[in-house]
């Protein structure tokens, strides 16, 4: 699969990235290099390889669920940089186009 300059520009637009022409050329070359390597990997015979989700055996690393007393409202906002009563005060997020 060959990535074109147009594809890189389109993805940059979707990601709201402003790329210089040199960056577009660089990223196009880098992505093509990665895809060429992936094509090489796709030629390998992996029929005898068991599918895995991790390179090493994994066990559940999460703690056990247990019932605890909830954090008091006052304690939860005690260190807030700005608050209004028992709420965190944050700046408004308004996008104007």
Domains of the chain with bracketed CATH: 5-42 (1.10.20)
Q: Is the pTM of this model over 0.75?
A: no
pLDDT (tens digit, 9 = 90+) per residue, 45-91?
988 988 888 888 877 778 888 999 998 988 888 888 998 888 999 98
pLDDT one-digit tens code per residue, 14-23: 999 999 999 9
Q: Rounded to an integer, what distance in angstroms lies between the CA atom of residue 65 and that of residue 73?
A: 22
Residue 97 has pLDDT above 80, yes or no: no
């Amino acid at each position: 699969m060959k990535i074109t300059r147009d594809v890189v520009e389109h993805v940059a637009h979707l990601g709201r990235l402003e790329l210089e022409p040199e960056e577009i050329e660089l990223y196009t070359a880098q992505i093509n290099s990665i895809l060429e390597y992936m094509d090489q990997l796709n030629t390998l015979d992996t029929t005898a390889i068991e599918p895995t989700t991790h390179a090493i055996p994994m066990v559940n690393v999460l703690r056990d669920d247990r019932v605890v007393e909830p954090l008091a409202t006052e304690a939860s906002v005690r260190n807030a940089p700005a608050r209004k009563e028992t709420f965190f005060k944050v700046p408004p997020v308004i996008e104007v186009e």
